[in-house]
Structure 1
Amino acid sequence: MSGRNSVHTPPTNPFGTPLRLSRAPTEDERHPYPLFPIANPGVSLPRQRKFKSARFTGGEYEKPWTQEHNPRRKWERVIFWGCILIGLAIGGSICYLSYASVSNHEYCLVLDDSFTTIDPSVWSYEIQRGGFGTGSFEWTTDDPQNAYVDGAGLHIVPTLTTTSTNITVDQLNDGYVLNLTTAGTCTSTDIGMCSIRSNTTTGAIINPVRSARLSTKGKKSIKYGKVEVTAKMPKGSWLWPAIWMMPEASVYGEWPRSGEIDIVESRGNYGDDYIDGRDSALSALHWGPVPEADAFYKTAGKHNVRRTDYSEKFHTYGLEWSEDYLFTYIDSRLLQIFFIKFTTHKTMWDRGGFGTSILNHSALFDPWSQTGRPNTPFDEAFYLILNVAVGGTNGFFKDGVGNKPWGDRSEAAPKAFWDSKAMWYPTWGKGDERGLSVKRVRMWRQGACGKR
């Protein structure tokens, strides 16, 4: 407001008290804050002072750290690069020593089969109905429905007895005699493995499933060497595929005295329904002075996969075996299922601790130590077996797991399995999906060709 009658009001500070000045206030002092428009146009705010930087503007300033020499800096570089070089040298030495310690024997190829046919000069059918000591429920045959070759390789496929033979459901359960000896096909010398009569009173039934078991016994075997089998596992509850080896001669006695090498076994059950189902690959050595003292659990391993299983695609299952060690692997020697070094114990008898064991109130007999070799009984020639079993009463399928429909101690276990067909048969894959498919088998003998 202006005019002759206007009254001068002395400037005040932000707290409203008058400023005492020895001179007339300047315009900035009258309005120390900027004016901003507000809702009431008749009122204005004081204007803020302009910000002044406190940055040094006096020209170049000294940087003494660029001029002074620090003697520690040289040693810091020496120590840093020296440690890197030492680390590289140590790492390189470890890698070299690890590589040098890996055994790389010379091998001679003795079998390479890609299955354009089932070659009788290499493979034999093992035909019987008794379960081969495992109590499995299948009847093995040489029927082309159970073992055949196509563009994908060899297929070992289980089939229902009632759909692949003329045996009816009623005959399966009662009044039918299956005699493979009379048919001239049984390969076992045990009559109990070759014949059976179905009977509803006793619960004995004709084997409800047929499958196949092929071996190279008497034709192709190795004592130390390598085996690689490229295969795909089957789909289906209670299917038991196996790629394994047995001794050509039972030099140290009946099983398991003369040993058994399981390159890979699996279970056809879906992994979410059965722990260690077809998402698990198992390997083991079986050995012991008597069946009740089989020490396979000391020389066994497994490898599980996630979000898939071994029925989805082909894998190569391998064995490398020498006088000093034995291991199994999947696809590469780097992915080992289990490894055993024979030289860590004086003998397999010592490894098993059998000398301190008592069975049926008696001490166990040592069948191996007389050889003086730490790997006995795995010091003889072994042949290869490919098969698909179904069920069993030896504990491979544990009672009470995965809704298992039979008990191992039941005399009528095969019938209990057959009676639950509505539970397991729908889980079996279609066509060869329910079988073990084998694309290629190779065996090498350790040592140069021409040398035995």
Structure 2
Amino acid sequence: MSSRTSIHSPGVHSAPGTNPFTTPLRQSRAPSVSDNSGSARGYSYFPPQGVDASHLPRKRKFKSARLIPGEYDEKPWALAKHPKLKWERGIFYGSIVLGIAIGAFLCYMAFAGVTNHEYCLVMEDDFQTINKDIWGFEIQRGGFGSGSFEWTTDDKRNAYTDAEGLHIIPTLTKDDIGLSNDQMLDNYVLNLTTDGTCTTTGIHECSIRSNKTSGDIVNPVRSARLSTKGKKSITFGKVEVVAKMPQGDWLWPAIWMMPEGDVYGKWPRSGEIDIAESRGNSGDDYPSGGRDSLISALHWGPLPEVDAFYKTSGQHQTRRTDYSAQFHTFGVEWSENYLFTYIDSRLLQVFFVKFNKPMWERGEFSKSLVNDSALYNPWVQTGKYNTPFDQAFYLILNVAVGGTNGFFPDGVGNKPWGNQSPTAPKEFWDSVDNWLPSWGEGDKRGLSVKSVKMWKQGAC
């Protein structure tokens, strides 16, 4: 007896050596026919050759299980309403209404909580000319405490007006006054006191002799610095400047304010308000933020070594453009209780400071030592939280070039000079072929100012 037993159903005849239940059906590529033997894919199926399929059960025709319209007139589940349905709808729609009401209330409270002081316009200038009743030129070559490399002038090449407004333009010294490169580097005397143009005192601020041995050179760039000092100032109020920043490596445009008098001592004891500063470098090449970045800050402290500006500063970076592409409004709003700067609208604030504790305490100066000595609090006598920002400040517009105070950090953006180098201006000038091509043509390399408005807080 064989180990394998063939089992056949009655009436089914298979060819020798085949089993109708183990042999797969043969699939044909023949097209479908109209009878029920065809499949939905367009194939016909046939039993293996020689197999009598008359007794095989036919495949049941597909019949939809969906309800046929008209056969069922009633939906039992819909005859009676669920007792909780009414409450569920009430809770859902009630929650929506409550959410809208709460949101509206919060928006109203936020709007009502915004301080809106009364202001009086004390100065407005759209720069048809440079109005000497408003603006004065600060002329010197000493770097204004930041070690910048420009010599500021009142030359019309460095500051002029046209249909677009005021332009403050940096230019090359050798082109302006006809100096040769050898004279810039050696044996040339620049004396602004003798010329009668220097607006400050001090040998370093007003004069220099170029010397190739020491590395001292005549300032390689000239620019301009305008201020309202002694003419227009405010103690609390608003300032708005509509301006466009310059483009060019190592340009340093600034819109800022300084105190009319050093009531609490020399910088930074009497404070400084930086409304808007930028760098002319391309943002792609300057990771710290080039002309695509806007910086605002307050400078304050008992000594320059402990200037606490980093506690009261902010930076706003724009995307896919930069601040030299179009005009923006750069503003500051300042009161006894707060100070903030903004771009284009009060909604886009760069930084906000609330005067809710003494600045000495905010700066934690009691914990600091300079030259192993404790610091003196220059503001203790006022008892005010906003000192030193409780005095009259005037406005400054300028474009500086370079500097050694750290605004341009060492090692960033292929910077050609070192902040600690005694010959930094010469190192900067030696790299002129690298940075000059980045400067825009005409007024693109300058700070363009369309208008300035200054308000004091309170009624006129």
Mean Cα displacement is larger for which, 207-216 or 72-81?
A: 72-81
User: Do the aligned residues in 2 keep the contact of 1:37 with 1:44 (CA within 8 Å)?
Assistant: no
TM-score relative to the length of structure 1: 0.89
* Correspondence for 1:386: 397
* Correspondence for 2:418: 407
| CA 1:151–1:54: 2 relative to 1, 3 Å | closer
- The one-character-per-residue Cα deviations of 1:418-442 (angstroms, maximum 9, x if unpaired) are 1111111111110110000000100
- The one-character-per-residue Cα deviations of 1:179-208 (angstroms, maximum 9, x if unpaired) are 000000000122220000001111100000
Alignment map for 1:63-82 (pairs within 5 Å): 63-82=75-94
Give SS of 2:85's match: helix
* Correspondence for 1:368: 379
User: Do the aligned residues in 2 keep the contact of 1:33 with 1:49 (CA within 8 Å)?
Assistant: no
Cα distance in 2 for partners of 1:357, 1:52 equals: 90
* Correspondence for 1:431: 442
User: Do the aligned residues in 1 keep the contact of 2:12 with 2:53 (CA within 8 Å)?
Assistant: no
The reply to whether residue 289 of structure 1 matches residue 302 of structure 2 is yes
Matching residue's letter, 2:305: E
Mean Cα displacement is larger for which, 70-79 or 204-213?
A: 70-79
User: Do the aligned residues in 2 keep the contact of 1:156 with 1:435 (CA within 8 Å)?
Assistant: yes
The reply to whether residue 310 of structure 1 matches residue 313 of structure 2 is no
Give SS of 1:384's match: strand
Cα distance in 2 for partners of 1:341, 1:215 equals: 27
Alignment map for 1:243-282 (pairs within 5 Å): 243-275=255-287, 276-282=289-295
The reply to whether residue 209 of structure 1 matches residue 221 of structure 2 is yes
Cα distance in 1 for partners of 2:196, 2:241 equals: 31
Give SS of 2:243's match: strand
| CA 1:191–1:45: 2 relative to 1, 3 Å | farther
Deviation of 1:69 (Å): 3.2
* Correspondence for 2:6: none
* Correspondence for 1:356: 367
Cα distance in 2 for partners of 1:13, 1:133 equals: 112
The reply to whether residue 320 of structure 1 matches residue 329 of structure 2 is no
Q: How much identity, in percent, do the aligned residues show?
A: 67
The reply to whether residue 118 of structure 1 matches residue 130 of structure 2 is yes
Alignment map for 1:185-196 (pairs within 5 Å): 185-196=197-208
Cα distance in 2 for partners of 1:16, 1:203 equals: 107
Name which of 152, 159, 163 aligns with 1:147: 159
Cα distance in 1 for partners of 2:212, 2:20 equals: 114
* Correspondence for 2:237: 225
Name which of 319, 325, 335 aligns with 2:348: 335
Matching residue's letter, 1:295: A
Give SS of 2:195's match: coil
Cα distance in 1 for partners of 2:64, 2:72 equals: 17
- The one-character-per-residue Cα deviations of 1:341-367 (angstroms, maximum 9, x if unpaired) are 011x2x100000001111111000100
Cα distance in 2 for partners of 1:212, 1:404 equals: 23
User: Do the aligned residues in 1 keep the contact of 2:241 with 2:329 (CA within 8 Å)?
Assistant: yes
Cα distance in 2 for partners of 1:79, 1:54 equals: 38
Q: Structure 2: which 5+ runs fail to align?
A: 1-9, 22-34
* Correspondence for 1:27: none
| CA 1:232–1:33: 2 relative to 1, 3 Å | closer
* Correspondence for 1:170: 182
| CA 1:404–1:12: 2 relative to 1, 3 Å | same
Give SS of 1:186's match: coil
Q: CA RMSD in A?
A: 2.5
Cα distance in 2 for partners of 1:414, 1:235 equals: 20
Report the count of equivalent residues.
424
* Correspondence for 1:26: none
TM-score relative to the length of structure 2: 0.87
Cα distance in 2 for partners of 1:211, 1:367 equals: 35
* Correspondence for 1:136: 148
Cα distance in 2 for partners of 1:32, 1:425 equals: 87
* Correspondence for 2:30: none
